[in-house]
Amino acid sequence: MTPEYVIVGAGSAGCAMAYRLGEAGKRVLVIEHGGSDAGPFIQMPAALSYPMNMGIYDWGFQTEPEPHLGGRVLATPRGKVIGGSSSINGMVFVRGHAKDFDHWADQGAQGWSYADVLPYFRRMETSHGAQSEFRGSDGPLHVTRGPRRNPLFDAFIKAGEQAGYPVTADYNGQQQEGFGPMEATIWNGTRWSAANAYLKPAKARFGVQVIRAFARRVVIENGRAVGVEVSRGGQTEVIRASAEVIIAASSINTPKILMLSGIGPAAHLAEHGIAVVADRPGVGANLQDHLELYLQFASKQPITLYKYWNLWGKAVIGAQWLFTRKGLGASNQFEACAFIRSSAGVDYPDIQYHFLPMAVRYDGKAAAEGHGFQAHVGPMRSVSRGSVTLRSADPAATPVIRFNYMSDPSDWRDFRTCIRLTREIFGQEAFAPFVRHEIQPGASVQSDDELDGFIREHVESAYHPCGTARMGRRDDPMAVVDPENRVIGVEGLRVADSSIFPRITNGNLNAPSIMVGEKASDHILGRRPLAPANLEPWVNPRWSVAQR
């Protein structure tokens, strides 16, 4: 059986496309280098710190030494497993702000404004929290809210209100700005990854095939993509597609595969002896990410998750989850959040908070002081841009990843603002029963220079890379794909994943990545896109004169 469509990558967008193309009766084959997502490390929400640090599930990418961070090398996890990064992420569900998508359209991604993408966000989800005309009720992706039983979650929301910020009942609905409950891709106590939501049903219902192989390059004949060269079982072979090849391999691997296929900056390809099929200088450029800091506070009361941060505590939580799919194991512990504006004159939020009732790092290392809690905070729209380039023409070589973090002076100003606004929030009356003192950065770190030193040493990636095969007008020399996801300069080839984002969205990237897969599937099928939804998002009426 020759598939009509070959999808490279069983990640967030790839799984959604496999489902929709299979549903339409198409013959679909998905190539995924990673293996099964079975087992508690992926499926138990509270175990989220494990899979992204396990070589069996993660590609293990790292940045080059970052020049503006004192030469630090930062981890760049990407999922190498069915479900892709939706199987190793924090399960946080954030669509992004309406104005993010209007900006995409302004940048040449015609048909991707908020009115255009909202119907796809609705189609993909079943919302178990808020119900409104902004939300979906019968999609494959279940979106839920944690129980917020720990009093610290409500203290965080109340503190934001006391500081003068709005409270929002649904940041994924009409009003993103404000403090409120956080949403997650968790269903029945289990991580509801793109594999669980889309790929497994697509295999069972529509006969979608998944093979485990390493994609080396796209095979292009007479200017048309006709298949994918893969390695599996120690052999190199070509898997042919009778209709189209779709790359959905992540913002790191997608540009790598394009360049190995002869699509990219001509001079860079020539350096590696790769014949140029399409000179697209935008391939690998425009790399973006979110950085964040963990601001940590010691707790006056022993009510944080630290009491479970031992072998016995973890065993009890794990056993309860295994037998009942309930308890602390059934939550990612991100149950309260906020989106705020950094200053007057900023028209929509540019700072995001994740609140966590424990002082701990993403790699699972707890703060030395015991009971504590933290806010992850960072600016959403850094102007710094990096790149993904080839290390060599060998497909097995890892790509060269340079984010160029903190390369613009505005990044430093924005992070100092984040720290000072966060301290003000934790200084509110709602936190008086809970805050003992500041662990990190520490009360003595106050001046701009001291804060910059802390930022340089402690800022971490939020793991939201995107933008390396940007969508735009066909006459835009830096665009890689057009608004129908077609690679410019090659027939029969599309890209649909976070690499096509013209600019990073406001929040975590899993939700907009799945939306891209949903919308791209209609373009691939030649269907008329869903009718625009002309609902009016909320924008703070005082944005031009007030920060809150």
Q: How many CB atoms lie within 10 A of CB 543?
A: 18
Q: Does 506 carry a binding-site annotation?
A: no
Report d(CA 439, CA 423) in Å as an integer: 12
In angstroms, what CA-CA distances link 521 with 13, 256, 406, 474, 530?
9, 23, 36, 20, 11
From the CB of residue 463, how many other CB atoms can be counted at a distance below 10 Å? 21
Most distant CA pair in the chain: distance in Å? 70
The set of long-range contacts for 67-72, using a CB threshold of 8 Å and a minimum separation of 24, is: 67/404, 67/407, 68/404, 68/405, 68/406, 68/407, 68/456, 69/405, 69/406, 69/456, 69/459, 70/456, 70/457, 72/457
Question: Quick one: angle between helices 98-106 and 114-124, nearest 10?
Answer: 130
Rg of the chain over Cα atoms, rounded to whole angstroms, equals 22
Residue with tokens 């280098």: 33
As given in the structure block, the two tokens for residue 436 are 């003992």
d(CA 195, CA 13): 10
Query: Which of 103, 142, 376, 464 is labelled catalytic?
Result: 464
Element (H, E) at 387: strand 387-389
Calculate the CA 415 to chain-centre distance.
20
> What are the Cα distances from residue 207, in Å, to 20, 504, 511?
12, 34, 25
> Which DSSP letter does residue 198 get?
I
- Answer yes or no: 437 catalytic: no
First to last CA, the chain: 59
Q: Is 244 helix (H, G, I), strand (E, B) or coil?
A: strand
Q: How far apart are CA 168 and CA 175, in angstroms?
A: 6
| Integer Cα distance of 301 and 143 in angstroms | 31
- Is 233 annotated for ligand binding? no
Q: Is 377 annotated as a binding residue?
A: no
Residues 6+ apart with CB under 8 A from 193: 37, 42, 83, 86, 87, 185
Cα angle, residue 470 at apex, residues 222 and 109 outer, rounded to 5°: 100
Q: Report DSSP letters for 458-483, one per residue.
A: H-EE-S--B-TT-B--TT-TT-SB-T
CA atoms of 216 and 227, how far apart (whole Å): 11
- Sequence ranges of the binding site for FAD: 81, 89-92
- Sequence ranges of the binding site: 81, 89-92
Catalytic residues: 464
